[in-house]
Structures are given as C-alpha cells and as structure tokens.
Amino acid sequence: MPDRPLRSGPALRALTPRPFGATNATMGPFESLPAEVSVYEVSPRDGLQNEAVTVPTTRKVRLIEALLDAGLRRIEVASFVSPRWVPQLGDAEEVVGLLPRRPDVVYSALCPNERGLERALAAGVPEIAVFLSASETHNRKNVNKTIDETLAVFERIVPPAVRAGLRVRGYVSTLFGCPYEGAVDPRRGLEIALRLVRMGCYQISLSDTIGVATPVQTRDVVRLFQRELPDETLALHMHDTRGTALANVLVGLELGIRTFDASVAGLGGCPYAPGAAGNLATEDLVYTLHGMGVRTGIDLERLGEAGQVAEAIVGRELPGKVHRAGVRSLRS
C-alpha cells in the first residue's frame, strides 16, 4: 500500500485537511455534545460468535426481538460465513427469515466473500458488513489472506452489493493494537478505510479488537481519520477488555463521532484475552449517554430486559456493569 493516503472519490474530503484540535478547540469537556447519537448493536453476531456452545436459532431471534423492543434500530444479526469456520452463526438464513420486517429497522450481516454476498442477497438483508485487519499477521490468521488479497475480494463484493441496493459497512480491525504485532501504525488502517469508502462503504467502524486503546490514543486515531473522511463516515467499535471502552467512546463523542457499536450486557468475549470482557455493553453506553443528555432512542429499562434475555440464552453471567448493577439512574 502507498505510504500516503489518496485523496479522491465523492465521499472523501477534497479540501484542506482539518487541523488537529479544530473540534471543540476553544471549549471545555462536554460543552458541545450532540442531541442524539446512533447505537449499532452487534450482540447477535459479534457477541454470539465467541460462545463455545451454539445458541439455537429461536433463541437468537428471541434476543433480537428483545433488542427491537428496547428501541434498537441498527442490529447486526448474522454472518454469512462458512459454518465450517464459525458454526455458531451457521443459521444465518434461518435467523434472517424469522425476523420481523419493519421499515424503521436496518438488519445487517457480515459478508466475507462472493458466496456470502449471494446468500445475503437471497436472504434479503438491506445491509452487509465487510471486515479486515490493519495488521497483516492478524488478517492472515483471521481470514487466511493478506490485506491486499482481502481488498481484492472486497472489490468483487462491495460495488456489486451497492449496485444491488444494499448498504455496505466496513470494519477495520486491530486498528489500536494487534495481539501478534503489538502497536499498529494507524495510517495503515486509514489507507484501508479510504479504499473501502471508494469501493462504496458508507461507514467505517474503527475497531479496538483486543481492547488496548486509551483515550489519548483514541483521540489521535480519530483526528487522523477525520482529516480525510467526514465524521458521518466514522464509527467506533471499542472493546472493554481493559476497562477503557467507555472512556474512549466519550473522546470520540467530543470529537464528533456519532455512531458507536455495542453489545447488550457486554455479550462477547475477547478471543485473545481468555476470561476477559470483550464488547462494550450497550447498557453502559446508553446509561452514560442518557445521563449526559444525549438521546439514543433506546428505552434503558427494556434494554436491561434484553440483557437478561442474553444472559439466559448463553447460560452465564454477563459482564456489563449497568446490567449487573441495575439500569435505574439516581437522577430524576
């Protein structure tokens, strides 16, 4: 990949890059909060794929329906990968076929290759997601391809999906650190993101796959991406393995990020940190945002009930802090 990112394409910034610190430069913390943000729920896919025991299809649908009842409107429900590689998600067609179709809800599914796109189109999902790593070693171990080989596959997936009327979201994993290579140069991830946007991805989720990011690192990475991409093109996918996910989200919030990925009750572990928490719990995110006056469209009480459903279907206690402590705020 070239050392410097390219600057072309309709979704990319063609004018002078935004200087570091331009956002909220003269304001104190939390003085320029948005009225509302979007929560992208990943528990039915990113959460359940890490479970040792496969959850029955009907229970997966039960969880998704509980999430809908809580007000979540963007939900990643399945993955059209080979059941040989991810048996926990081998029932993607069945799950999608049982879901209620509502005009205000967008279901998304992971789609790694051309066969996955064929399955997604046949199932009728309105959105797919593609994923690759910012670190070469992790990408090879995760999908058995180099980064360039993976991007070549996406050239055969993303444009046809867009032409077929699907929206396509991209994940750049291990952006904040790799379990094999250690520190990752975020400029490598930026170049990947730019290529994905040029293919047709409407949003790029900046992913802290193993939960190593800190607030200062998050600030620097977000600002780097904001110099080349509009804020609405960016999302944050932070794992809470080391307890920093929510702090990192608040940094992104102040910098202008308005989409955050989360998983109800913290469902989903980190495969490279056995026993550690993985995904940021949706309840923790929503509780904090609501307490700051930022709307999400989510009913926190109902979300707590969805967390109980998640706990019941996996048969173990889940790590989300608000899920365990209770969703009621001390504020009136």
What are the start-end ranges of the E strands in the chain? 38-41, 74-79, 106-110, 127-133, 167-173, 203-208, 234-238, 259-262
Q: How many CB atoms lie within 10 A of CB 11?
A: 15
Q: Is residue 8 part of a domain?
A: no
Residues annotated as catalytic are: 270
> pLDDT tens track of the chain, all 332 residues?
433 333 344 344 333 333 334 444 445 678 789 999 999 999 999 999 888 889 999 999 999 999 999 999 999 999 999 888 888 899 999 999 999 999 999 999 999 999 999 999 999 999 999 999 999 999 999 899 999 999 999 999 999 999 999 999 999 999 999 999 999 999 999 999 999 999 999 999 999 999 999 999 999 999 999 999 999 999 999 999 999 999 999 999 999 999 999 999 999 866 555 555 689 999 999 999 999 999 999 999 999 999 999 999 999 999 999 998 987 765 54
> What span, in angstroms and rounded, lies between the C-alpha atoms of 200 and 138?
24
What would the two tokens of residue 56 be?
């029955």
Q: At what angle do helices 147-155 and 136-143 cross, to 10 degrees?
A: 60
Q: Is residue 19 part of a domain?
A: no
Q: Is residue 31 part of a domain?
A: no
> What span, in angstroms and rounded, lies between the C-alpha atoms of 5 and 17?
12
In total, how many domains does the chain have?
1
Q: Is residue 20 part of a domain?
A: no
Q: Is residue 18 part of a domain?
A: no
Q: Is residue 32 part of a domain?
A: no
Q: Is residue 25 part of a domain?
A: no
> What span, in angstroms and rounded, lies between the C-alpha atoms of 43 and 127?
16
- What is the CATH classification number for the domain harbouring 280? 3.20.20.70
Domain that holds residue 252: 38-325
What are the start-end ranges of the E strands in 95-250? 106-110, 127-133, 167-173, 203-208, 234-238
Tell the burial category of 326 from Cβ atoms under 10 Å away from its Cβ (0-12, 13-18, 19+).
exposed
Q: Is residue 10 part of a domain?
A: no
